[in-house]
Structure 1
Amino acid sequence: MESQSIVVLDFGAQYSQLIARRIRELNVFSVVLPCTTSLDEIGSHSPAGIVLSGGPCSVYDADAPNADPGVFELGVPVLGICYGLQLMVHVLGGKVNPAKKREYGHAEVEIVGDSELFRGLPKSLEVWMSHGDEAVELPPGFSLTAQSPNSLAAIQNPAKQMFAVQFHPEVQHTRMGTEILRNFVLNICKAKRDWTPQHFIDGTVASVGQTVGDSRALCALSGGVDSAVAATLVDRALRDGDGSSRLTCVFVNNGVLRKNEFEKVQQNLRDKLGLHVLAVDATDRFLGKLAGVTDPEKKRKIIGNEFIAVFEEEAHRIEKKEGKVEWLVQGTLYPDVIESQSVRGPSQVIKSHHNVGGLPEKMRLKLIEPLKDLFKDEVRKIGRDLGMPEEILQRQPFPGPGLAVRILGEVTPERLAILRECDDIVVNEIKKAGLYTKIWQSFAVLLPVMSVGVMGDQRTYAYTCAIRAVHSEDGMTADWVPLPHEVLKTISSRIVNEVKGVNRVVYDVTSKPPGTIEWE
């Protein structure tokens, strides 16, 4: 769909997706690919430039991640970041050694040579370092352009259009990082700024229409932003001349939805988006499969499998009435894809997502994932350009496996009833405080921890509820929110007084990393 892109080759860095986001903020499309991607595959993305990401390894290790050296001969500018700088030096004839003094955190660097990468920037920059190796000999044709007190900070070979920095311009801690990326993407690569919501909408509608043809599609609705935007996009692509749509949206009550969510979501999607919604209550079916299951990955796989089974059954019924159904639409996002795949093979998968790794290996329906290249903030922008109401677009993310991954341990009707009431209190109090749209996610978690309490002069022995609220830009990293004391006090008081079965409330103050946003 994109006319050209900036390709980010990922060497296992935690910031690779952030590089892509920063580039997209310049209205230039960027894609993250594993460092082992072939030159042909890289070329298929029409790269205007290539970025080599950071990574946790040393380039001189026997099992160090590598890229095809041909990336330096594609005739497009290359920017190395941290490990990317060291790889560039190592591959092109320089030398990298363990650093005499490692650099982690804030650092001051001085620009010591003219470089298009630093055009318009002051001579001194505050940057973010995170490296234990350093380049000690530069490859032929390279020169030093920036220096930190301990090591080189930037190099270049402008004749070959190769540039590299030892620090991380993509993180907010690097004060002028956005300007550095802007110089590379716009001034050096001369990339076209055509990555806009309308460009994406037009391309997606055309692509989906061409892919599906005269067939019909089902859309897996959750009631959240992602599936609602995906459904609206595909619905636009599959509207026929008489105004009818070949998209049927299926909203499944999997038994682990929030309080009154099954009814509210149906009304929203039909009345406000005009979608054709088929509601299926499969509560007993899902809870029966989840009975006795405590492992979080097994919960996700069970829910993923049952979702698809339900959709295939509904597709069969629809086919009998209206014609052949071949396609299933899901609101999979880029972070879902990235967290569910290994960049280098041996690296660890964080967790399987219900709409990616949780899918059965053999499916009769073919998948359409119109949002799989987007981050959450981009999805909301697309929704606004589609004219969707803010009430739907501002909904906080909700996991596909629902409350099943917010109940640690076995999912039972009793525990679900308890968690629904706790979660309803958390969300309503945060809305009352005017904080709901300012927070990425806020929710309750029911812990398999019983504790002693005293209520009405009587001893109690009941569950513990954890409250979680985080700030995030895209779900890839997150910081816990310091909720006002009075808000926490009200939430805690209401839960222990109104929810039978809970006598203790705790607040989660863990960021991502090292934790994940959800507890399971």
Structure 2
Amino acid sequence: MQEKILILDFGSQYTQLIARRVRELNVYCEIHPYNHYPAPDSSVKGVILSGSPSSVRDANAPQVDLSPIKGAFPLLGVCYGAQYLAQNYGGEVKPSATREYGRAMLSKVEAANPLICGLSQTTQVWMSHGDTIARIPDNYRIIASTEDVPVAAFQIDGEKTWGIQFHPEVYHSTEGSQLLKHFVVDICGCKQDWTPDSFIESTVRELQDKLGNDKVVLGLSGGVDSSVAAMLLHKAIGKNLVCIFVDMGLLRKNEFEDVLRSYESMGLNVIGVRAGDKFLSDLKGVTEPENKRKIIGRDFIEVFDAEAQKLTDVKWLAQGTIYPDVIESVSVNGPSATIKSHHNVGGLPEKMHLKIVEPLRLLFKDEVRRVGRQLNIPMEILGRHPFPGPGLGIRILGEVTAEKVRVLQEADKIFIDNLKEAGLYDKVWQAGVMLLPVQSVGVMGDERTYENCVALRAVTSTDGMTADWVHLPYEFLAKVSNEIINRVKGINRVVYDISSKPPATIEWE
């Protein structure tokens, strides 16, 4: 049985980050809503209570029954979790005189305490709360303070229960990972055996037990998640996995051929389907972004289903669902209402009467890549930037036509090739070109032109939820602009998008 840390989520924006920091210690953990967590069993080594946007003083503040946990398992309350442990067991939480947000320095650190031993006496931590613990219960002991926060950290006497009013999971808490290691490894006794190798071994064994001799169909996209899922399934069931790779006519230039070659070299059983004519025909005259997404999503399901129907005895549909998707579907506040339609191809299993198998549902994106490296998946697939489900269909603003796709493919290839040649590709999380519904006057030779404008987009991000624009060198941007204008007929102006998310989105549609 895989040992684990339970993280009870009170809705903090940092909850997933806590989990990622624990996973980086090669310790498996699971996030569960505070009001719906599984009964702890012998596999649970400890519990972490997350922060929250709520105040423990609110009438409708999240309340949790800790009776199966507190005193029975090592317990760490972070921010709201710490304030909850104080307020609900005899202490008092009050509004801070000034909002405690940003960097702070720990002082009066109890050097021998197992949670914070070895930390610098003046280590930097990150505060983010409007309340503060004004009084702790009688059997609680302060183990660290800051200049403005007397109770920065505490322990309950005679219990392996701690509370901290700062966030060790964020980058600004300089020794936060060390504190989490003290809790997870030294206090909880976790063995740090959650590794790519152990995941592959256990997942392949589970897939073999679950699937037996059944056939599985999987839609490949050329991206990281579907590729790693395919290789895990291939390792487990071999030729009983059939992969379908659909060319919607909206992929990057030469991508269909290049990716198909990569998959075949990996030994996968892949069917390539060219269906660009259908997609472009159905998109004719459509300009509204959400309608385009729905048409592309519908057509993909129809093409995939038609191809899958040619197969016999398929019982399972494999999907590249990863852990953030799973967490969102059972989040404290319920599933997000903002998931774009192309992410939701939920009609497939019902339409095809298939059961679902999701080999990656326990992994974060960075863990998926680590597993992929262990599976020897080529770097041209593992290192690929994320690419939107509707492809270039949502990077062409307005109506999508074959000619616009050709123009955008040419411009996009110049941008991406230059990023790779300049050693910038791996420093960017996602990059692409947008074809704008804007024509402007230009001069080429002695002639005036009236042609299209494209926008270059390059962002850094960890998960796509937020993103910053990349400060690409001016010389690089000038080179890309000149090449696109000189080599791509139909474009006479190039601009660079310097907006971050939020308030902008990564894609333009």
Task: State the TM-score, normalizing by the size of structure 1.
Answer: 0.89
1:401 alignment partner in structure 2: 390
- After superposition, the Cα gap between the structure-2 partners of 1:104 and 1:388, relative to the gap in structure 1 and judged at 3 Å, is same
Q: Secondary structure at the match of 1:351?
A: coil
Which one of 475, 490, 495 corresponds to residue 484 of structure 2? 495
Q: How far, CA to CA, are the matches of 1:317 and 1:74 in structure 2?
A: 58
Q: CA deviation at 1:208?
A: 1.3
- Is 1:201 paired with 2:174? no
How many equivalent residue pairs?
506
Using the alignment, how far apart are the partners of 1:449 and 1:34 within structure 2? 47
Per-residue Cα deviation, 1:197-219 (whole angstroms, up to 9, x for no partner): 11111111111112222210111
Partner of 1:351: 339
1:53-64 equivalence runs, <5 A: 53-64=50-61
How far apart are the structure 2 equivalents of 1:156 and 1:476?
A: 35
Q: Give the whole-Å Cα distance in 2 for the aligned partners of 1:283 and 1:90.
A: 61
Q: Give yes or no for contact 1:109–1:125 (8 Å, CA) kept in 2.
A: yes
Of 220, 245, 254, 1:251 maps to: 245
State how far apart, in whole Å, the 1-side matches of 2:230 and 2:355 are: 16
**Uncovered stretches (5+) of structure 1, i.e. residues with no partner:** 240-244
How far, CA to CA, are the matches of 2:326 and 2:444 in structure 1?
A: 47
1:373-418 Cα deviation digits (max 9, x unpaired): 2222212221221122323322222222222333344433343223
Q: Alpha-carbon deviation of 1:109?
A: 1.9
For 1:309, the equivalent position in structure 2 comes to 302
Q: Could you tell me which residue of structure 2 aligns to residue 9 of structure 1?
A: 8
Change (3 A) 1:90 1:417: farther
Does the 8 Å CA contact 2:50/2:81 hold for their aligned counterparts?
yes
SS at match of 2:482: helix
Report matched runs for 1:183-202 at 5 Å. 183-202=182-201
| Map of 1:447 onto structure 2 | 436
Q: What's the CA shift for 1:433?
A: 0.3
Deviations 1:269-294 (A, max 9, x none): 11x20111111122233334444555
> C-alpha separation between the residues in 1 aligned to 2:129 and 2:274?
53
Please list the CA deviations of residues 177-204 of structure 1 after superposition, one character each: whole Å capped at 9, or x if unmatched: 1101111110111112110111111111
Q: How big is the shift at 1:18?
A: 1.4
- Residue 73 of structure 1: which of 70, 75, 80 is its match? 70
2:270 to 265, 277, 291: 277
Cα-to-partner distance string for 1:462-505 (whole Å, 9 max, x where unaligned):
44322222333444544332212211111122223333343333
Q: Distance in 1 between matches of 2:56 and 2:492?
A: 53
Task: Give the distance between the partners of 1:289 and 1:158, measured in 2 at CA.
Answer: 68
Aligned CA distance change for structure 1 residues 249 and 511 (closer, same or farther; 3 Å) = same
* SS of residue paired to 1:174: coil
Which stretch has the larger CA shift, 455-464 or 172-181? Answer: 455-464
Please point out which of 66, 70, 83 is paired with 2:80: 83
Ranges in structure 2 where 5+ consecutive residues have no aligned partner = none
Within a 5 Å distance, the mapping from 1:365-380 to structure 2 comes to: 365-380=354-369
Look up the equivalent residue of 2:279 and give its one-letter code.
F
Deviation readout 1:237-257 (Å, 9 max, x if unpaired): 113xxxxx1111100012221
Against the structure 1 CA distance between its residues 236 and 361, is the aligned structure 2 distance closer, same or farther, given a 3 Å change threshold?
closer
Task: Tell me, yes or no, if structure 1 residue 212 matches structure 2 residue 208.
Answer: no
**Aligned sequence identity (%):** 49
Which residue does the alignment assign to 1:171? 170
2: distance between equivalents of 1:104 and 1:451?
A: 47
* Other structure's SS at 2:152 match: strand
- SS state of the match for residue 223, structure 1? coil
Cα gap change, 1:392 to 1:501, in 2 (>3 Å): same
Q: Taking structure 1 as reference, are residues 97 and 367 closer, same or farther at Cα in structure 2, changes over 3 Å only?
A: same
Relative to structure 1, is the Cα distance of residues 392 and 52 closer, same or farther in structure 2, using a 3 angstrom cutoff? same
CA distance in 1, matches of 2:460, 2:405: 26
Q: Which amino acid aligns with 1:343?
A: S
Residue equivalent to 1:506: 495
For 2:260, the aligned partner's letter is Q
Question: How far apart, CA to CA, are the structure 2 residues paired with 1:358 and 1:404?
Answer: 21
Provide closer, same or farther for how the CA distance between residues 318 and 69 of structure 1 changes in structure 2, counting only shifts above 3 A. same
CA distance in 2, matches of 1:458, 1:371: 56
Please give the per-residue CA displacement for 1:430-467, whole angstroms capped at 9, x wherever unaligned: 01102222322222223344445444455544443222
CA RMSD of aligned residues (A): 2.6
SS at match of 1:73: coil
Contact 1:304 1:358 in 2 (8 A): no
Contact 2:416–2:431 under 8 Å retained in 1: yes
- CA separation in 2, counterparts of 1:309 and 1:74? 55
Over 3 Å counting, the alpha-carbon distance change for 1:95 and 1:353 in structure 2 is: farther
Query: For residues 365 and 452 of structure 1, do their structure 2 counterparts lie closer, same or farther at Cα, with a shift above 3 Å needed?
Result: farther
The match for 1:137 is 135
Q: What residue in structure 2 maps to residue 104 of structure 1?
A: 101
2:360 paired with 1:362: no
- Contact 1:396/1:441 (8 A) holds in 2: yes
2:329 maps to 1:341: yes
Q: What's the counterpart of residue 242 of structure 1?
A: none
Partner of 1:32: 31
**Alpha-carbon separation, structure 1, partners of 2:452 and 2:77:** 51
Partner of 1:115: 113
Matched with 2:159 is: 160
2:305 touches 2:348 (CA, 8 Å); kept in 1?
no
| Amino acid paired to 1:392 | I
Q: Give yes or no for the alignment of 1:384 onto 2:377.
A: no
Residues 6 and 443 of structure 1, relative CA distance in 2, 3 Å threshold: same
1:52 deviates by: 1.7
Q: Which position in structure 1 is the counterpart of 2:318?
A: 329
- Kept after mapping to 1: 8 A contact 2:349/2:356: no
Q: 2: distance between equivalents of 1:304 and 1:111?
A: 58
Taking structure 1 as reference, are residues 52 and 500 closer, same or farther at Cα in structure 2, changes over 3 Å only?
Answer: farther
Determine if the alignment matches structure 1 residue 264 to structure 2 residue 264.
no
Question: Once superposed, which parts of structure 1, at least 4 consecutive aligned residues long, lie more than 6 Å away?
Answer: none
Amino acid at match of 1:124: T
Q: Deviations over 1:336-356 (max 9, x none)?
A: 444x53622368544347455
Confirm or deny: 8 A CA contact 2:70 2:161 kept in the other structure: no
Task: Determine if contact 2:141/2:157 at 8 Å carries over to the other structure.
Answer: no
Instruction: Output the CA distance in 1 between the equivalents of 2:288 and 2:92.
Output: 47
Task: Give the structure-2-normalised TM-score.
Answer: 0.91
